[in-house]
Structure 1
Amino acid sequence: MSDTAATPSRVAFLGLGVMGFPMAGHLASKGHDVTVYNRTAAKAKAWVEKHGGRAAATPEEAADGADAVFMCVGNDDDVRAVGGAVLSGLKAGAVLVDHTTASAGVAREMDEAARAKGLHFLDAPVSGGQAGAENGVLTIMVGGAEDVFARVKPLMDCYGRSVVRMGDAGAGQLTKMVNQICIAGLVQALAEGMAFAQKAGLDGHRVVDVISKGAAQSWQMENRARTMLDDKFDFGFAVDWMRKDLSICLEEARRNGSLLPVTALVDQFYGDVQAMGGNRLDTSSLMKRLAAKS
């Protein structure tokens, strides 16, 4: 990929979970030549059957010859393992973009490793959930060199509504931490409000209709309040994943001296949901914890 190439066409996508599968699909739908890899080969095969392109047996094979490689894996260790393997074989000047929610530290490690090989790295965690990925309207927070970001942004625009560079390596991950900190408190407050409405004998749906027009409005209220009232908690972003994210936030806060008392408390509440067997429930399942406690 030359420095002037705005839209590289040969790309790889590693990790086809509830987010990666549709994100890679948007790249294919925009005419890019996409090769995919997934640890479970059947999922990669299903992606090819739906979107075309090719499936590779290893991350290295998927990334061979690619101008840009995107990955959306599990945690810091996965980023190091998969990203490290890919960096060992990428062609000069190629870009590795990590959409995993991981630590700022591992983002800086990967950036340094890429630079040492004449390659480029961007940390680019996303927000918007499964629906945002499927509809191509994710928010993407990016850390890395400005010129590299400019080269790859047209690709991320395929599945992102807001794609913004936040600073150097690690800045994307730090911004995602702010996002998760804010969400944690909002979801708990929303759960408490909906539970209170029910206990007060109010029609919760009418309550949401009214207060969502005022200062209490939020994405969580618009998208999760009614499903919480209906006891529905299957929307893709699992409690296990949120606890992983919050552990990253709390660790970073210990490092930089931030105080996160509400985040730490809500993290414990998610632990209660896990103890109830709700590991794979959506994060709005904090509502179920309140019902169990009442």
Structure 2
Amino acid sequence: MAVERIAFIGLGVMGGPMCRNLAAKHAGEVRAFDLNDAARAALQDSRARVTAEIAAVLDGADILLLSLPGAKQVEAVCATLPQTGKPGLLVVDLSTTTVASARRTAAMLDAAGMAFADAPVARTREAAVRGELSIMVGASDEVFARIRPLLGHMGTDVTHCGGIGTGQAVKLINNALVFEHVAALAEMMAIGDRAGVDPAVLLDAVSRGSGDSFVLRNHGRKAMLPREFPDRAFPSDYVLKDIAGMLELAGDAGVPARITETARDYYAEVVRRGCGSRYFPVVLELIAGRMDDPT
């Protein structure tokens, strides 16, 4: 069987290291494109063939992988593919969008004789660099079997969640749980602090009990305890995008999502106060009363 030619569009914080790992491990050619000059330059020392023209990256590609900011960008790129892509092209979207967007895109590509899979990724940029992402896939059995080896070049945990859209559903649920847990932990840290408990002591004690969690050990210890919320990490602006997708899904399912709505209100206030670009556990500063109100 001929080795498939891969195209990769979107070389940002997550896409760049994903493309680098794919190019290093895939036996065939990997072409890469991004609108940003610096993002393209960062891949020049990789095995990927980096191009400055989107037509060049698509030329002859059998599979196109996307890592883009959201549904708007994904749908815009995919809308051009019936004219610019190879017949039978398979599109694998690694971005976080919405269930409805994934299904719209799949239907549009299907009408053009092309296939689609939604395969959003979870974990950190460091995990992307190491090739240790968790990837949640919505696709037919046939498509999943075809792309599973490629996804394994970028992630250690690849889960077939079901048909088109289920990858996005699982990713949105995963993210909402993290955002909600961070907000809940921020409330408890603020309360404990006001009650005279040192935050480090609080996290140590809770980590030894049933309140321990991934969020406590990672977001709590690494960001909230030292109060380090850099701009070049997952920002509160992105949190609101994902929560909107989660609430859309909840509405379509007819299930109330009141805890998610409360978390949305917290992060919306973070953005309103001008801190939307900062790493989202900065919600602690809001809840603890340490964030200035511009009004």
For normalisation by structure 1, the TM-score amounts to 0.91
Q: Residue by residue, what CA displacement relative to the aligned partner does 1:184-204 show, whole Å, maximum 9, x if unpaired?
A: 221111111222232233232
1:43 to 14, 39, 44: 39
Matched, 1:292 2:289: yes
Q: CA RMSD, aligned part only? A: 1.9
Given that 2:26 and 2:153 are in contact with CA atoms closer than 8 Å, whether structure 1 keeps it comes out as: no
Give SS of 1:181's match. helix
Aligned equivalent of 2:255: 258
Aligned equivalent of 1:183: 178
1:70 to 65, 70, 73: 65
Q: Residue by residue, what CA displacement relative to the aligned partner does 1:109-147 show, whole Å, maximum 9, x if unpaired?
A: 221222223221101111113222122221111111111
Report how far residue 31 of structure 1 moved.
4.2
Given that 1:93 and 1:118 are in contact with CA atoms closer than 8 Å, whether structure 2 keeps it comes out as: yes
Matched, 1:34 2:7: no
Unaligned segments of structure 1, at least 5 residues: none
CA 1:128–1:87: 2 relative to 1, 3 Å: farther
Give SS of 1:210's match. helix
1:233 to 229, 234, 240: 229
Given that 1:60 and 1:86 are in contact with CA atoms closer than 8 Å, whether structure 2 keeps it comes out as: no
Given that 1:13 and 1:35 are in contact with CA atoms closer than 8 Å, whether structure 2 keeps it comes out as: yes
User: Which amino acid is the alignment partner of residue 262 of structure 1?
Assistant: I
Q: Distance in 2 between matches of 1:201 and 1:135?
A: 40
Q: Distance in 1 between matches of 2:271 and 2:169?
A: 26
Q: Distance in 1 between matches of 2:152 and 2:225?
A: 34
Report how far residue 232 of structure 1 moved.
0.4
Give SS of 1:88's match. helix
Matched, 1:146 2:141: yes
Matched, 1:243 2:269: no
Matched, 1:106 2:101: yes
Q: Residue by residue, what CA displacement relative to the aligned partner does 1:172-221 show, whole Å, maximum 9, x if unpaired?
A: 11111211221222111111122223223323223323322332222211
Given that 2:19 and 2:48 are in contact with CA atoms closer than 8 Å, whether structure 1 keeps it comes out as: no
Give SS of 1:51's match. coil
Matched, 1:94 2:89: yes
1:123 to 99, 118, 122: 118
Aligned residues: 288
Report how far residue 9 of structure 1 moved.
4.7
Q: Distance in 2 between matches of 1:37 and 1:249?
A: 30
Given that 1:59 and 1:82 are in contact with CA atoms closer than 8 Å, whether structure 2 keeps it comes out as: no
Given that 2:32 and 2:51 are in contact with CA atoms closer than 8 Å, whether structure 1 keeps it comes out as: yes
Q: Distance in 1 between matches of 2:56 and 2:24?
A: 22
Point out the more displaced range, 183-192 or 237-246. Answer: 183-192
Given that 1:141 and 1:176 are in contact with CA atoms closer than 8 Å, whether structure 2 keeps it comes out as: yes
Counterpart mapping for 1:126-137 below 5 A: 126-137=121-132
Unaligned segments of structure 2, at least 5 residues: none
Q: Distance in 2 between matches of 1:203 and 1:69?
A: 50
Point out the more displaced range, 16-25 or 217-226. Answer: 217-226
Matched, 1:162 2:154: no
Q: Residue by residue, what CA displacement relative to the aligned partner does 1:237-269 show, whole Å, maximum 9, x if unpaired?
A: 111111011111112222221101111111111
Give SS of 2:289's match. helix
Runs in 1 of length 4+ with deviation above 4 angstroms?
Answer: none
Given that 1:60 and 1:85 are in contact with CA atoms closer than 8 Å, whether structure 2 keeps it comes out as: no
Given that 2:99 and 2:165 are in contact with CA atoms closer than 8 Å, whether structure 1 keeps it comes out as: yes
Q: Distance in 2 between matches of 1:213 and 1:232?
A: 24
Report how far residue 291 of structure 1 moved.
2.3
Q: Distance in 1 between matches of 2:238 and 2:160?
A: 24
